[in-house]
């Protein structure tokens, strides 16, 4: 195990797919801070106040617009920049949208990942990759205990199924083309990572409880809750990203044991109900109210209970969560209450620095 994973990224060329997205923008900021040369490949940001638009210094990255389904464009990025490592985060991330657009969801999440894997396979310089999937890749039995990396994959809805398919696809490539037995010849290590319900500043996606809550509070109307008793593993965006960065450092260092699947979830006290989260948002915002949605009809499968077992990351990677749910929500609300400030990248970097020190 490397002694200081932060130093490993200095002057490394890192490709992030989906860098304009919520998690991708925070990872971009963090890797810039660590001295990496970041190449981003993504669609345009959706909203003017997305974290990428107001926080990421564009002059410090190579910012490329492209569709992950376009294998030719993606291949050119690998040919032109020959990245040392890839963080694949580009995805269609919404469950409800996947019911409305299943074909697009599978094309982006599965075929898009296939394009990334093919490009990695062909690029001699690329030594490591982290493919981001989801805690929803597991076949959900509504267990009260957390899912382990060895548990059965599944997925009731198109989004969850697409993430399970992605996991199987990556495993197939590891076995077929990038087998650890042949590591000395191809010198490539790939891991998949599964996180819980990630919150933090800069997420304006539809049908997510934090963005929906903030919009309601800003408009002085009650927050509508669809499933108040649904239990999720809530975590600040910096939590899983710290795990991805640490894991990536091991892969870049050629440590073969870190290839495979990894869970990065919170401790048990941060696994709580949607209603509890909304109450905490209102508390840290300083005003507001909520009500149960009157017009909501549960028209598709929604899990009531989902959590992750992080024993593997804790004992093999020595990664531990730092911020509990209260700090996570406090930092998230802080972002949304200040997001129109001129120098907003400073607040994001301050939060990253606070996290590193804790």
Cβ(289)–Cβ(223) under 8 Å? yes
Interacting residues of 143 by C-beta distance below 8 A, sequence separation 6+:
305
Residue with tokens 């590891």: 174
The structural domains of the chain, ordered by start, are: 2-357 (3.40.50.720)
Residue 89 near residue 198, CB atoms below 8 Å:
no
Question: What is the predicted pLDDT for the residue at 324?
Answer: 94
- Would you state the structure tokens that stand for residue 343, as one six-digit string? 């120098």
Predicted confidence at residue 297, as pLDDT, reads 52
User: For the chain, percent helix, then strand, then coil, each to nearest 5?
Assistant: 45, 15, 35
pLDDT of 319 reads 97
Alpha carbon distance 2, 8 (integer Å):
9
pTM of the model: 0.95
pLDDT digit string (tens) for the chain, length 358 residues: 766 777 899 999 999 999 999 999 999 999 999 999 999 999 999 888 889 998 999 999 999 999 999 999 999 999 999 999 999 999 999 888 999 999 999 999 999 999 999 999 999 999 999 999 999 999 988 888 899 999 999 988 999 999 999 999 999 999 999 999 999 899 999 999 999 899 999 998 888 899 999 999 999 999 999 888 888 889 999 999 999 999 999 999 999 999 999 999 999 889 899 999 999 999 999 999 999 987 655 545 566 778 899 999 999 999 999 999 999 999 999 999 887 766 778 889 999 999 999 7
What pLDDT sits at residue 298?
52
Q: For the chain, give the number of residues.
A: 358
Confidence at residue 22, expressed as pLDDT on a 0 to 100 scale? 95
Q: Collapsing DSSP states into helix, strand and coil, what is residue 41?
A: strand
Question: Which residues lie closer than 8 Å to 351 by C-beta, 6 or more apart?
Answer: 201, 238, 331, 334, 335
Using DSSP bridges, classify how beta strands 290-292 and 197-199 pair: parallel, antiparallel or unpaired.
unpaired
């Amino acid at each position: 195990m490397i002694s200081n994973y932060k130093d490993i990224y200095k002057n490394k060329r890192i490709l992030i797919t989906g860098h304009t997205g919520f998690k991708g923008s925070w990872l971009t900021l963090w890797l810039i801070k660590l001295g990496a040369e970041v190449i981003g490949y993504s669609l345009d940001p959706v909203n003017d106040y997305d974290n990428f638009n107001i926080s990421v210094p564009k002059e410090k990255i190579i910012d490329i617009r492209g569709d992950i389904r376009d294998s030719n464009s993606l291949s050119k990025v690998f040919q032109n920049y020959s990245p040392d490592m890839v963080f694949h985060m580009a995805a269609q991330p919404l469950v409800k949208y996947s019911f409305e657009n299943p074909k697009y969801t599978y094309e982006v999440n599965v075929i898009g990942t296939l394009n990334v894997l093919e490009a990695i396979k062909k690029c001699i310089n690329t030594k490591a990759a982290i493919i981001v999937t989801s805690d929803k890749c597991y076949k959900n039995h509504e267990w009260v205990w957390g899912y382990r990396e060895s548990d059965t994959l599944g997925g009731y809805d198109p989004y969850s199924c697409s993430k399970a398919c992605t996991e199987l696809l990556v495993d197939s490539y590891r076995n077929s083309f990038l087998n650890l037995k042949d590591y000395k010849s191809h010198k490539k290590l790939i891991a998949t990572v599964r996180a819980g319900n990630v919150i933090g500043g800069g997420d304006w996606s539809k049908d997510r409880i934090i963005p929906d809550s903030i919009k309601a509070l800003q408009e002085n109307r009650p927050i509508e809750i669809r499933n108040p008793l649904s239990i999720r593993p809530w975590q600040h965006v910096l939590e899983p990203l710290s795990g991805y960065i640490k894991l990536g450092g091991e892969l870049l260092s050629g440590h073969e044991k870190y290839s495979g699947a990894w869970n990065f979830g919170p401790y048990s006290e941060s696994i709580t109900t949607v209603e509890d989260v909304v109450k905490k948002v209102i508390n840290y915002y300083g005003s507001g109210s909520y009500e149960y949605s009157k017009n909501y009809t549960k028209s598709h499968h929604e899990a009531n209970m989902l959590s992750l077992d992080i024993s593997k990351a804790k004992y093999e990677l020595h990664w531990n969560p730092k911020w509990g749910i209260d700090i996570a929500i406090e930092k998230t609300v802080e972002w949304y209450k200040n997001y129109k400030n001129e120098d907003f990248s400073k607040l994001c970097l301050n939060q990253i620095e606070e996290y590193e020190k804790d």
